[in-house]
């Protein structure tokens, strides 16, 4: 089937013989990064003393998350929740409660410090510390997303080395692809800034994590256009949302409207990241990439 010509049947990412997307024109992976306080503390431990700023971040797990879980249950939509190990450790009820709702919990670093800001040894230690938290909580982990989507050149190798199926931090395509690493191949479920609520809604006076508060109506228009594009070209609509941002009332209501639109398209299917990664890993037609740093000559780029 040409993915640009949907046949009107609901897709099934598990259906054999149709590649990673089953019979769907576009696959939606609805993802929530449950960052809580971590992106602010990554800017400076002193922000722990800011009661207002900490309450702004705690709103995510305390208010946004249960609202989102209710919304997903209402619409019977599966999702993937990327949780920093620090958040899972400080709120031991959080990851098990997500899993109990039938959703996937995935690795989102331990500290939310971006890999590009750490040494190779620090990144490895942070990566493994998060895995140890999930292991203690009996949460099965299949995939990883780098903090701030700032993966280093060793990140996908760490994902492969620790036996995970997929990463979701790179932007080299708009459909799944395989990344060859020294420790074997992993599936990449690519992301893009246009499908991240951070660029639409993130505002704090300090630290500088964003300075926008867009209208949910505009945001939904943007995501609808991108979903229709994915339906035309056959892509992965990998939406990244944050409970402290999209959990707010007007935004949650707009998200509901957007999901109702997507659910009403017969050629769109929803799946958890781990399920898409599993079918993608078995798809022989998937592109294999060998990413490596470009040769940036010092005489051309002196700084």
Binding site for Zn ion (CB under 5 A): 33, 35
Cβ atoms of residues 277 and 166 within 8 Å: yes
Paired residues of 268 in beta bridges:
26
Surface-to-core class of residue 276, CB atoms within 10 Å of its CB (0-12 exposed, 13-18 middle, 19+ buried): buried
Paired residues of 241 in beta bridges:
32
The CB-of-89 to Zn ion minimum distance in angstroms stands at: 16
Distance of CA 149 to the CA centre of its chain: 9
The CB-of-5 to Zn ion minimum distance in angstroms stands at: 37
The CB-of-198 to Zn ion minimum distance in angstroms stands at: 8
As a residue count, the chain comes to 303
Taking the least distance from each CB to Zn ion, the nearer of 20 and 127 is 127
Taking the least distance from each CB to Zn ion, the nearer of 22 and 115 is 115
- What is the rounded CA–CA span in Å between residue 250 and residue 35? 20
- What is the rounded CA–CA span in Å between residue 243 and residue 60? 4
Taking the least distance from each CB to Zn ion, the nearer of 39 and 235 is 39
The CB-of-57 to Zn ion minimum distance in angstroms stands at: 11
The CB-of-108 to Zn ion minimum distance in angstroms stands at: 6
Q: Which residues touch 91 (CB under 8 Å, ≥6 apart)?
A: 36, 61
Taking the least distance from each CB to Zn ion, the nearer of 241 and 271 is 241
Taking the least distance from each CB to Zn ion, the nearer of 179 and 202 is 202
């Amino acid at each position: 089937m040409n993915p640009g010509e949907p046949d009107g049947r609901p897709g099934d990412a598990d259906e054999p013989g149709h590649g990673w997307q089953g019979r769907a024109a576009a696959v939606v992976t609805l993802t929530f990064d449950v960052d809580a306080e971590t992106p602010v503390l990554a800017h400076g431990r002193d922000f722990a003393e800011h009661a207002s700023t900490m309450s702004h971040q705690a709103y995510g797990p305390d208010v946004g998350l249960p609202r989102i879980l209710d919304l997903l249950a209402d619409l019977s939509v599966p999702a993937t929740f990327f949780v920093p190990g620090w958040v899972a450790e400080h709120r031991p009820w959080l990851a098990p409660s997500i899993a109990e709702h039938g959703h996937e919990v995935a690795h989102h670093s331990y500290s939310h410090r971006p890999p590009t800001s750490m040494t190779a040894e620090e990144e490895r230690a942070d990566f493994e510390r998060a895995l140890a938290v999930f292991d203690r909580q009996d949460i099965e982990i299949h995939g990883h997303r780098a903090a701030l989507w700032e993966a280093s050149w060793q990140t996908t190798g760490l994902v492969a080395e620790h036996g995970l199926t997929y990463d979701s931090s790179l932007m080299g395509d708009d459909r799944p692809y395989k990344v060859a690493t020294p420790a074997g191949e992993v599936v990449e479920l690519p992301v893009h800034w246009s499908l991240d609520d951070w660029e639409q809604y993130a505002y704090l006076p300090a630290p500088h994590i964003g300075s926008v508060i867009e209208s949910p109506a505009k945001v939904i228009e943007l995501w609808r256009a991108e979903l229709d594009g994915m339906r035309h070209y056959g892509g992965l609509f990998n939406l990244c949302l944050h409970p402290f941002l999209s959990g707010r009332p007007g935004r949650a209501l707009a998200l509901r409207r957007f999901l109702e639109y997507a659910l009403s398209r017969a050629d769109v299917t929803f799946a958890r990241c781990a399920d898409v990664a599993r079918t993608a890993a078995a798809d022989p037609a998937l592109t294999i990439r060998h990413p490596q740093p470009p040769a940036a000559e010092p005489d051309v780029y002196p700084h």
